[in-house]
Chains A and B, each alone.
Chain A
Amino acid sequence: MLKNTRQRALAGLILLLLESACGRPSKPKFGKSQDASPSDKPTTTVPGGGEEVPTNPGQVDPETAAAIPLCDTEKFGQALWAPTLSQRCQSCHIKNGLAPKNGSAFILSDASEPDYMNKNFAAFQKLAAIPYEGTPLILAKASNKARHAGGKILDVDSEAYVSMNNFISDTALPKNCLKLTAETTAKLDVRSPAQIVRQASLQLAGRQPADAELQLAKDGKIRDALDTVLKGEYFETFIKRIYNDIFLGDGFRGDNAIEVYYRNNGQASLDWRDDSLYFSVYASFPEYQNSVELVSYIIANNRPYTEILTADYLMLNPHSACDILGPNHDLKFSNKCSTNGQSLQACNKQSFRFGHLPFGDYIDDCREFLPSKPKFGNGAPIVGVLSDIPFLVRYSTTPSNRNRLRARIIYKHFLGLDVLTLQGPQQPSTESSNPIANPTMNNPECAACHTLVDPVASSLQRHNDLGRYDRNAKWEKDMFAAGFNGKTTPNEAEPLRWLADEMVKDPRFARSAVMFWFQALTGEAPLRDPVPSDVYYRVSLAAKIAQNEFFENLAQKFAANKYNTREMIKDILVSPYYSAVGIKADVTASEKLMLESFDHANRRAPEETHQAIAAVTGQYWLLPDRKVDDTYTTFKKWDDSYLMNAGQLLVTAGGVDSKTAIVRNNDMSSIASAISNFAAVSMPCQVVSKDFKIETAKRNLFPFVEVNTVPDDAAGSTRIKQNIIHMHKRVLGEELSLESPELAATYALFMQLYNNHKSAGDKTLNKACQSPGLTSDESYTLYAWMGVLSYLLNDYDFIYQ
């Protein structure tokens, strides 16, 4: 299975390079190459490292990499931390975990924390320096020679014990650890500010950059340029899409369950609309949209990101406002979702046209949401997304699960901690000669994780499987009480509210937000803790530590800046993690491998491709015979498209339906590439002749030529080339000159197609490609231009971003 992780990319780099260069794997030895003696190779000193490595990374092989001596921290990481401490000890000895709860001072940092390896090495050294009956205390504890609350972890004759002992005895380890320095990072080839703005504009604003934005970027004011990019309807749609990938609320589309849960919760008063289940199917939209509308509102309005957990308001549209606030509510909607001119605040059935529209599309498209603070009869608190009913139902609970799934999701998405990884590959033993009563509290094997998970799970004790709130809900005592980070929820506090307030104070909250946006923008998951078998361990560790530091710096800035998400997004966009496209200077092999950690090449999501097609051609890619009609609701428009409709190609192209397809698949497959090709051969027919009918200067694609501009003379040829340069820039963001080989290649394609048709005397233009007044290919240029556009839309730089 391709996981597309950076770790794999790093580990597989050399073989990949060799395979692509030679067509077969080979193993030239560093310093032992058959082609050249070691003295033939230029060498460079690795900043912070000290050892010599060749400048040609293609000649480093795993054996050579493994032979490079590790510094003390790297050796600790590869020999002790990765195979043993992170797998066997961390689950208890993590901050606020079971061990510190029981008084242990040996605390290990999670791999997402800044400088985690040095901290862990220091903690290890401190414990190793204490003797216990002739044995370093760390070993005495691990073997339970000195009483260990977690019992015996390692046998004294185990490989892990011996390895740890040897490490402690080895005092000759070098101190010069490999670092990813600013000097090395400066060797990256990065996008220019204008190119960053273009890239961000297509990705986040769904459009070409404005001239003013490009000028600001060129003038050194890129953050000002990005300020207008990070605004508007598409940006908000982007936010909702990426957060829906977590909340999965869209899975309730066409499902009346959420409406029913609101009603059962006493959170909806439906008398005003003489409701029936039939209508509620279509009326559930505002309920399942609340969570993503909340995030969008927070980010778009520069509100503190902490409100994602702490907001004491709901986002209501004209329909849910009537349901939840009652007919006399005072929210001032702009009425822009009205289609019949009636006031939507009247909360009368006719104004919402229940029963008049067969598919309820009007209600689905009532997309104006405003914040409001309703008071519920049952005292249900509003606590950001944590109390959102669709969220609680999507991640529901059972009498035995007791909110632990919810707790795991909360840890994962808001604190960046996957609790399932804490235990490592080892499963708790299922058999015991002395079964321990209530193991989640009393068996260290289980309690290690449950010490973290269960207080959060218990904080949701008043929300049942359907999200219904009951202040007096009974909660069992055989589970760790509600709390967080080692603190117990005060008796008088509402557990969920208290949890949210505590969580946003945890530095992991800001860091996880940065990491979430990093992945959303670059398509790359944060680097993982290197595994011990990684032959490039020291390089991977250096890259990981540098990236952790990047996240931490941004997180601190984010918090200091009142959790302004748009500013944090700008920080990522202007960083080399977003702008790197290559390497511009000579680098050592280690440097090159470290610089790989900046690489990202994200296959556009189907929704992004849908928007990008419109951004470059001026038209969406729709099903046959469908037309863009402004009166259509958003869902109707999406349903008419190939890439926004789960019943068409959305899921097959890698998207989610939020029901059974809930994880995006960014991998390239034959069918995914066929879908890209389908768009690339369909769109030219739909847009080329139409674009020629637009006033020349305002055209999307052909501002330098007319239909009758032919390459038969120098003037015509030059104009065609100028237009090709324009198309490369518009479709691919690629800047070509008149001397560029890529221009020559595209021009050659144009000429081939032009000559194909001219020599055949074929002026026929397929009916589907015609536009009024342009019904034949009189000058043989239309198919040539269609072919050029198809070529560009099928290009790697359009399929990926």
Chain B
Amino acid sequence: MERRNFIKSVGAAGVLSLIGNRLAPPLLAAPATDKPLFITATCPGGWDVSLFCDPRYGADFPLNRFGEGDLRKFGPFTLGPGSAAAVQFFERYSKKIMLLNGVFAETIDHGVGQRLACSGGAGTGFPCFDALVAASLGPTLGLSFISGGGYDETAHEIAKTLSAPSLIQAMSSTIGKDNVFSSSDTSAISASIAARLKRKQAQAQLAIRQKNMNLLAQARQGWGAFPGVLKTVADLQAKVPLVQGVTGDDKAVKDYRNQLFLSIQLALAGYVNNATVSANIAFGNCDQHSNFPQHHLELDGFFIGMDYLWRAAEYLGISDRLNVMMGSDFSRSPFAIGAANDQGKEHWAQTTSIILMGTNVPGETLIGSTTRDKSFKAEMIDPKTLKPAASGVPLLRSHVHNELRRIAGIQDHPIVKKYPLILPGGPIRILA
């Protein structure tokens, strides 16, 4: 008997009882999907790329109090000292990193910027990339799209699962973990629940009720992935330190149960247990208004989190199965908002940066550039050579998302085709 049919034949109670007693799937079980886990990570608010990955200093950038001697080089990348954790991240992972500098941000509106960063589209209601991936590749999985913040619009194409400590509790409840019933009590109750549902299914005369009862029974069968997810999360929490050898500020991990780390744990655990295909993760608050002195801490927190993501993926043996995009709403202006420097810099539409890592991403690659002076503007690129070209086209978030859709193999999916991207100058081939 096929496993699927076997589960069907024993019904929800059978599954529930089995789950309570059996071992979880192997910890490092290979995910069933042949696609990588897609993750979009953002630092909402508009990060200041002139402090780290597209460094600027001198008279035109009065708040950036560093000079050439403070810069660090890793392969093609030059890092400013604005975030120690960012420097360390590039040092560790430069071979995996593709950095896109000079991405025209198009907006100074936070909402629009977040939508562009996560979806490639500016309009409200435009689904984020990860929702499209989940709707296309894993519509029936139990935790298909995990949202840990950021712009996570689904356009109702897929149900998102918000990461929260109570989510762990909800999953735990399905296997009798942490609840007051013993395993034998749980088995008895579960069997009664399933038997009752079966009786009601047999009695139901009207189709909607029947359909809903069938859906409820099927949904309970989906609990089969939860024990593995829970076990993997627990394993990650026990074995992979949240912070390891970074010199940046570790304020982001002061609360050990930080929900943002939980989002990573859930996404990775969901993936290796074939329950998740994509995740949104947001770290920190990169809005610099009234917060300029703290901005480096926010950046540190973000890159500490990203470091954790890769270390945890390595631990699970799936570091070659990730595809990660990092970004923010836009960048910050060269100048301060007011006379008092600590008021921070203004929103800046002229440029932003994106970091890509993982499958189909050529590492140690820098694409795009910005003007050196206070115009701090994204320069056009030749869409073929990807080199700066005055007669070229602006590199936009939509171009990057178009590439992500391509490598995910979802660009021709009917759901995805409902949400076309605007691509001035046509697609730009960035990824392998």
Q: Which residues of B contact A618 (CB under 8 A)?
A: none
Q: How far is the CB of A670 from chain B (nearest CB, A)?
A: 3
Nearest A residue (CB) for B259: A647
Known contacts A671-B143, A753-B188; A745/B195 CB under 8 A: yes
Q: Can you list 27 A-B contacts (CB < 8 A)?
A: A9-B208, A17-B210, A20-B214, A582-B204, A582-B205, A599-B207, A647-B164, A648-B164, A652-B167, A661-B160, A668-B216, A670-B142, A670-B222, A673-B223, A675-B170, A678-B173, A681-B176, A681-B179, A682-B173, A684-B180, A685-B179, A745-B192, A753-B185, A786-B181, A787-B188, A791-B192, A791-B193
Q: Is A335 an interface residue (CB 8 A)?
A: no
Q: Is A256 an interface residue (CB 8 A)?
A: no
Extra contacts besides A652-B160, A669-B219 (19): CB < 8 Å: A9-B211, A17-B210, A20-B210, A524-B208, A647-B162, A652-B161, A652-B167, A660-B152, A670-B143, A671-B143, A672-B159, A678-B173, A678-B174, A681-B179, A753-B188, A768-B180, A783-B185, A791-B192, A796-B196
Q: Which residues of B contact A660 (CB under 8 A)?
A: 151-153
Q: Is the CB of A670 within 8 A of B193?
A: no
Q: Which residues of A contact B170 (CB under 8 A)?
A: 649, 671, 674-675, 677-678
**How far apart are the CA atoms of A684 and B173 in the complex, in Å?**
13
Q: Is B189 an interface residue (CB 8 A)?
A: yes
Nearest A residue (CB) for B204: A582
Q: How far is the CB of A724 from chain B (nearest CB, A)?
A: 12
Q: Is B391 an interface residue (CB 8 A)?
A: no
Residue from the list A6, A654, A668, A769 in contact with B212, Cβ < 8 A: A668
Q: How far is the CB of A588 from chain B (nearest CB, A)?
A: 14
Binary per-residue interface labels of chain B (414-425) against chain A in the complex, 1 for a CB within 8 Å, 0 otherwise? 010000000000
Q: Which residues of B contact A623 (CB under 8 A)?
A: 166
Q: How far is the CB of A74 from chain B (nearest CB, A)?
A: 21
Q: Is A438 an interface residue (CB 8 A)?
A: no
Q: Which residues of B contact A595 (CB under 8 A)?
A: 206
**How far apart are the CA atoms of A1 and B154 in the complex, in Å?**
12
Residue from the list B135, B208, B225 in contact with A596, Cβ < 8 A: B208
- In chain B, residues 275-331, which have Cβ atoms closer than 8 Å to a Cβ of chain A? none
Secondary structure class of chain B's binding surface, majority of residues? helix
Q: Which residues of A contact B199 (CB under 8 A)?
A: 741-742, 745
Q: Is the CB of B220 within 8 A of A670?
A: yes
Residue from the list B167, B193, B204, B415 in contact with A649, Cβ < 8 A: B167
Binary per-residue interface labels of chain A (157-172) against chain B in the complex, 1 for a CB within 8 Å, 0 otherwise? 0000000000000000
Report how many residues on chain A are interfacial, defined by Cβ distance under 8 Å: 74
**How far apart are the CA atoms of A756 and B211 in the complex, in Å?**
35
Q: Is the CB of B196 within 8 A of A745?
A: yes
Known contacts A674-B170, A678-B173; A796/B213 CB under 8 A: yes
Q: Is the CB of B160 within 8 A of A651?
A: yes
Known contacts A674-B223, A769-B180, A790-B181; A1/B207 CB under 8 A: no
**How far apart are the CA atoms of A794 and B152 in the complex, in Å?**
30
Q: Is the CB of A667 within 8 A of B159?
A: yes
Q: Is A12 an interface residue (CB 8 A)?
A: yes
Residue from the list A668, A674, A742, A796 in contact with B197, Cβ < 8 A: A796
**How far apart are the CA atoms of A651 and B184 in the complex, in Å?**
33
Q: Which residues of B contact A649 (CB under 8 A)?
A: 162, 164, 166-167, 170
Binary per-residue interface labels of chain B (144-182) against chain A in the complex, 1 for a CB within 8 Å, 0 otherwise? 000000011110110111101011011111101001111
Residue from the list A13, A642, A668 in contact with B219, Cβ < 8 A: A668
**How far apart are the CA atoms of A414 and B206 in the complex, in Å?**
31
Residue from the list B172, B189, B211 in contact with A791, Cβ < 8 A: B189
Residue from the list A599, A651, A667, A786 in contact with B206, Cβ < 8 A: A599
Closest 8 CB pairs of A and B: A670-B222, A670-B142, A599-B206, A673-B219, A678-B173, A678-B170, A582-B205, A599-B208
Q: Is the CB of A12 within 8 A of B207?
A: yes
Q: How far is the CB of A584 from chain B (nearest CB, A)?
A: 9
Q: Is B226 an interface residue (CB 8 A)?
A: yes
**How far apart are the CA atoms of A671 and B141 in the complex, in Å?**
10
Binary per-residue interface labels of chain A (603-627) against chain B in the complex, 1 for a CB within 8 Å, 0 otherwise? 1000000000000000000010000
Q: Is the CB of B166 within 8 A of A642?
A: yes
Q: Is the CB of A596 within 8 A of B161?
A: no
Known contacts A651-B160, A651-B162; A790/B223 CB under 8 A: no
Nearest A residue (CB) for B225: A670
Residue from the list B192, B206, B207, B214 in contact with A580, Cβ < 8 A: B206
Q: Is B215 an interface residue (CB 8 A)?
A: yes
Q: Is B372 an interface residue (CB 8 A)?
A: no
Q: Which residues of B contact A524 (CB under 8 A)?
A: 208
Q: Is A531 an interface residue (CB 8 A)?
A: no
Q: Which residues of B contact A668 (CB under 8 A)?
A: 212, 215-216, 219
Q: Which residues of B contact A582 (CB under 8 A)?
A: 204-206
Q: Is A351 an interface residue (CB 8 A)?
A: no
**How far apart are the CA atoms of A20 and B170 in the complex, in Å?**
29
- In chain A, residues 779-794, which have Cβ atoms closer than 8 Å to a Cβ of chain B? 783, 786-787, 790-791, 794
Q: Which residues of B contact A599 (CB under 8 A)?
A: 206-209
Q: How far is the CB of A104 from chain B (nearest CB, A)?
A: 33
- In chain B, residues 108-155, which have Cβ atoms closer than 8 Å to a Cβ of chain A? 135, 139, 142-143, 151-154
Known contacts A661-B160, A796-B197, A796-B213; A670/B219 CB under 8 A: yes
Nearest A residue (CB) for B9: A23
- In chain A, residues 731-762, which have Cβ atoms closer than 8 Å to a Cβ of chain B? 741-742, 745-746, 748-749, 752-753, 756
Q: Which residues of B contact A800 (CB under 8 A)?
A: 209, 212
Q: Is the CB of B207 within 8 A of A794?
A: no
**How far apart are the CA atoms of A677 and B13 in the complex, in Å?**
13
Known contacts A599-B208, A674-B226, A787-B189; A1/B153 CB under 8 A: no
**How far apart are the CA atoms of A10 and B170 in the complex, in Å?**
34
Nearest A residue (CB) for B174: A674
Q: Is A16 an interface residue (CB 8 A)?
A: yes
Nearest A residue (CB) for B155: A663
